[in-house]
Amino acid sequence: MRNIKGVPHKAAITPDYSLVVIISMSKDTSNPSGKIPKDLMVGAQTSEEQEIAEKMRHVKHKIVILSGKGGVGKTTVAVNLATALAWKGHVVGILDADITGPNVPKMLGLEGTRMVGGDKGLEPVLGPLNILSVSMEFLLQSPDTPIIWRGPLKMRVISEFLSKVNWGNLDYLIIDLPPGTGDETISIMQLIPDLDGVIIVTTPQEVALLDSRKAATMSRTMNVPVLGLIENMSGFHCPHCNEVTNLFDKGGGKQAAQDLKIFFLGDLPFDPRVMTLSDEGKPFIVTDAKSPVAKAFQQVVDRLLERLKGQH
């Protein structure tokens, strides 16, 4: 499990020689045995964490898509990134870690599909370009069923998705999160060892930019690298005249990336076809490959791959 920066801690060695870190440094008089209570340990691996580590050992790159706000295009970016990588011939998985608002199945055209259990655990749904997909939606009777769960249950299911799913050997695992820095985000950052890092998606409005700062700060606090920032819907691509008009001040994302010392991966224009194609379950990166938004997205993917090359 990942250590948390800034929390007072003290290292100690357990009898089985696995290193643990005790969060509280104060003497606990209610524990006369002197044994370290399990819930005070950070760093010792439970068997489930070991299972996750074993599964994740077979995944070369693990990339998390994060944002401070909802509706900025995280799922759109996750699905199109997975598709772009699969299109290049990579073996790709996508984990929809938005437990209460799972949208990956719809955007991949997999609505109504069910995940089934096999000899090697829960089998991911095989999507377009052989993308292996896992989502809470694949376990629901109907997409209209609301998930009304508190944090611990959501964390439980994410842990199961990582430890009990037969992911196999993957080149890339893309993880889509709900907005903000809540339970699912913490679970993913804590449970997955060796994350390549997070991609922060934002829109040009000041308020979204402000929230993305929080996402960046959280990643740093949890010792997860930030791979870069994408500014989505940064201008309007008119389907009639083919021109791009800026709806908000241009350059806010780039500026925010500079201020936060984050790599700027690029900006994507607003294009009504992105929405239509997403609703139809057809990722624009292949179904509308010649559009300005697809070309801009391809550049983002190329920059990301360059960065990943530099990391390994």
Ligand X SMILES: Nc1ncnc2c1ncn2[C@@H]1O[C@H](COP(=O)(O)OP(=O)(O)O)[C@@H](O)[C@H]1O
Q: Which residues bind ligand X (CB under 6 A)?
A: 67, 70-76, 103, 232-233, 268, 270-271, 274-275, 278, 293
Binding residues for Mg ion, total number by CB under 5 A: 3
Residue 268 interacting entry, from Mg ion, ligand X, none, C-beta within 5 to 8 Å by type: ligand X
Angstrom distance (rounded) from CA 312 to CA 309: 6
Piece of the chain touching Mg ion by CB under 5 A; list 10-18, 74-82, 257-265, 290-298: 74-82
Q: Is 80 in the site for Mg ion (CB under 5 A)?
A: no
Of 74 and 154, nearer to Mg ion (C-beta) is 74
What tokens were used for 1?
Answer: 């499990």
Instruction: Establish if 75 lies at the interface with Mg ion (CB under 5 A).
Output: yes
Q: Which is nearer to ligand X, 91 or 297 (CB)?
A: 297
Q: Rg of the chain's alpha carbons, rounded to an integer?
A: 20
Alpha-carbon gap, residue 34 to 302, rounded angstroms: 54
In the complex, minimum distance from the CB of residue 241 to ligand X, in angstroms, rounded to a whole number: 17
The residue of the chain with the least Cβ separation from Mg ion equals 75
Place of tokens 């979204």: 208
Min separation Cβ 247 and ligand X, Å: 11
Choose between 45 and 205: whose C-beta lies nearer to Mg ion. 205
**Segment interacting with Mg ion, rule: CB under 5 A, options 67-75, 119-127, 133-141, 217-225:** 67-75
Residue 302's contacts (CB-CB under 8 Å, 6 or more residues apart) are none
- For residue 39, CA distances in Å to 151, 162, 185 come to 17, 21, 20
Q: How many helices (H) and strands (E) does the chain have?
A: 10, 14
Helix 206-221 vs helix 252-259: crossing angle, to nearest 10: 30
Report the nearest approach of ligand X to the CB of residue 268 (Å): 5
Q: Considering the complex, what minimum distance in angstroms separates the CB of residue 65 from ligand X? A: 8
CA distance 110 to 72: 22
Q: Which of Mg ion, ligand X, none has residue 202 at its interface (CB below 5 to 8 Å by kind)?
A: none
CB of 234 to ligand X, least distance (A): 8
Residue 75 or 232: the one with the smaller Cβ distance to Mg ion is: 75
Sign of CA dihedral 163, 167, 170, 174: negative
**What distance in Å separates the CA atoms of residue 194 and residue 134, rounded to the nearest whole number?**
20
Quick check: 234 binds Mg ion (CB under 5 A)?
no
Least distance between ligand X and beta carbon 80 (Å): 9
DSSP type of residue 37: P
CA–CA separation, 220 and 69 (whole Å): 18
Q: Which chain residues interact with Mg ion by CB under 5 A? A: 74-75, 103
